Amino acid sequence: MSKDSPGNYWINAAAKIGSNRAFRNQEILLDKPELSADEFLVALYREIGMEYPKWFKMDRLSKLGMLAAELALGASGAKLDDPYSAAIVLANRHSSLDTDRKFVEQLKEIPSPAVFVYTLPNIVTGEISIRHKFKGEQAFFIDDLCPVEFLVNYVRILFEEGNTHSCLFGWVDILGEQFNATLYSVSGVQEDSVHSIPFTSKNVYQYFDHEQGAVS
């Protein structure tokens, strides 16, 4: 199967958060260029009506990933036919460096265990899994740039092995005031005749790279 062959898999929803804008599929939900990164994340949490008090106790990488997952998957509570067939595959550039810096700064006095627990990048996959009841494959990769070809091939292999029926995958990265989360919800079922598009490297890259969060 070629890398751009649609196969039997579909991107049923996508979410993009970056440059102080947030999109669900091609719809812009929030555009607040005047806010700081922290202020924007809180504003988006409130804009989408997310009700999850634990979110405020998370590190910023997990907050960002949770918001993007909420946009791509919908609010928690959707029933999965088989939680063990739902996978999460994420990647970023800076690992947990945003939180690591905060923890190192605290070493001057008494470091907080609540900060230390987030000094691993894959904690965000666990937080999403708890929220959305995913119990399948989990993976987190580090790369300088979003490895679209690698991620698409990795997700395809999961599907072809037969144990994975749906997958949330993409890029979640934050460091200081710079942040970008682009997530895709993929399965073997075309769930939305309007927004579902074939699961190809081209479609994944176009949504990731397009500043308007649109796919042409």
Task: Kindly state whether residue 215 falls inside one of the protein's structural domains.
Answer: no
Give the model's pLDDT for residue 209.
Answer: 84
The radius of gyration of the chain from alpha carbons, rounded to an integer in Å, stands at 17
Q: Cα-flanking dihedrals φ and ψ of residue 196, to 5°?
A: -70, 135
Instruction: Provide the domain limits for residue 70.
Output: 10-209
Task: Kindly state whether residue 201 falls inside one of the protein's structural domains.
Answer: yes
Residue 47 to residues 30, 33, 71, 130, 139, Cα–Cα distance (Å) = 8, 15, 11, 22, 29
Give the model's pLDDT for residue 94.
Answer: 96
Task: Kindly state whether residue 91 falls inside one of the protein's structural domains.
Answer: yes
Task: Kindly state whether residue 19 falls inside one of the protein's structural domains.
Answer: yes
Residue with tokens 């928690």: 76
CB 142 within 8 A of CB 175: no
Q: What torsion do the CA atoms of 109, 96, 54, 187 make, to the nearest 10 degrees?
A: -170
The residue type at 100: D
CA-angle at 119, arms to 64 and 130, nearest 5°: 55
Task: Kindly state whether residue 214 falls inside one of the protein's structural domains.
Answer: no
Task: Kindly state whether residue 5 falls inside one of the protein's structural domains.
Answer: no
What CATH number corresponds to the domain at position 128?
A: 3.40.47.10
Residue 39 to residues 14, 32, 64, 181, 206, Cα–Cα distance (Å) = 23, 9, 12, 16, 28
Average pLDDT per run of 10 along the chain, which is 216 residues long? 60 96 95 97 97 94 97 70 93 91 75 73 94 95 96 97 96 97 95 86 91 47
Overall domain count for the chain: 1
Task: Kindly state whether residue 1 falls inside one of the protein's structural domains.
Answer: no
